[in-house]
Amino acid sequence: MIGRALFASLIALHVLGAPAAAAPEDCNPEKGTLKLPASEPWAQKRLDIKNAWRLTRGAGVTVAVVDSGADYHPQVQLSKIIDETHTGHRDCVGHGTAVSGIIGARYLAGVPFHGVAPDAEIVMLKQSNKPEGEINKLVDAINDAVAAKAEVINVSVRASDHPGLRAAVQRALDQDIVVVAAAGNVTGPDDEDVPAYPAAYEGVLSVGAATPDGRRADSSNATTPVGVLGPGTEITAPWPGRAYKRGLQGTSFATPYVAGTAALVRARFPKLTQEQVRRRIIATADGTAGVGTGAGMVNPVLALTAVLPYEAVNAPVVAEPPPTALPADAIAKVPPRDETAIGISMAVGFGAVLTIAVAGALALLVPLGRRRGWRPGRPS
């Protein structure tokens, strides 16, 4: 468990030999809220995440998040921060804190928000202090994620095709890492016909944004080949200032729901390759029809339970399920001003998990990318 002091020491330890960090000139993320509604956010309910926890919570899997850094938050615990910017760990955008939280925020009694894979280890690769970044830092972050032996990499960033980026992604795939990337948002006419990278590279699990009814959000880029959708409108997530942000939208925030699912699959089926993990997530999605929807909304429970006809009998090998829920007295309350890391317990989902056969694997899409100049790492 990481309090503020230990959190700071980890930051100092993992800046890759950089000189003392200089604070960025402008580091003022938007204000969040300290209050959340009593009910769970729709994305958690829609994906039935707590039910998936009956089988795994992602323990033993390392997820690398290539983003804007991360601020201290009671629910977001990072095992390592690698600062490519040499400006310190602070998240000046809010983006990295939110994405990390969606993937791995711990469950706290009385707090309706939680992450998809709360027992996974999160490594933050800070590549920018702004919504836009530099190609070299993006490439370095992916390479350092490989060096950190991540098993899943989340890239909620869009760029244009670039030889260095292509090589870094291929290196990650060759090292058996599941690369999950945002398909990008359509914010103007210049975005409509342009695929987002690294999402459009072959072998990457590309994620589009979905609405609560499972449709592709209008802002989700349909030009980028999409593997699956993730919740991408009216999203709630942790935010700098020990706060939360409501109303987030975009493929940036859909992607970590899929990356978290990949962590659950890797924990449940430790002998699957990155390609098999990607195929399983695609094959068990909800099957939404339409351009830019891929196989439909990601389905964590099916991804952990489905018997796929193209997999060998008695395969894949299944890891032992996690222990039952911790007793009630093991759940720590959040002290009002205590900076110490908070004790965690997992809630056990209800109902029986159904085993469903899913017909066939979906063919992988090989995108034809358009070479354009670097569109610096803006959130997707």
Residues with catalytic roles: 67, 95, 252
Identify whether the C-beta of residue 120 lies closer than 8 Å to the C-beta of residue 337.
Answer: no
Phi, then psi, of 143 in degrees rounded to 5:
-60, -40
Pairing of strands 152-155, 178-182: parallel
Task: Count helices and strands (H / E) in the chain.
Answer: 9, 11
Residues 303 and 264 sit within 8 Å (Cβ to Cβ): yes
SS3 letters across 326-359: CCHHHCCCCCCCCCCCCCCCCCCCCCCCCCCECC
Cα distances from 185 to residues 235, 251, 288, 292, in angstroms, run 15, 6, 19, 12
Q: Is 278 helix (H, G, I), strand (E, B) or coil?
A: helix
The amino acid occupying position 134 is E
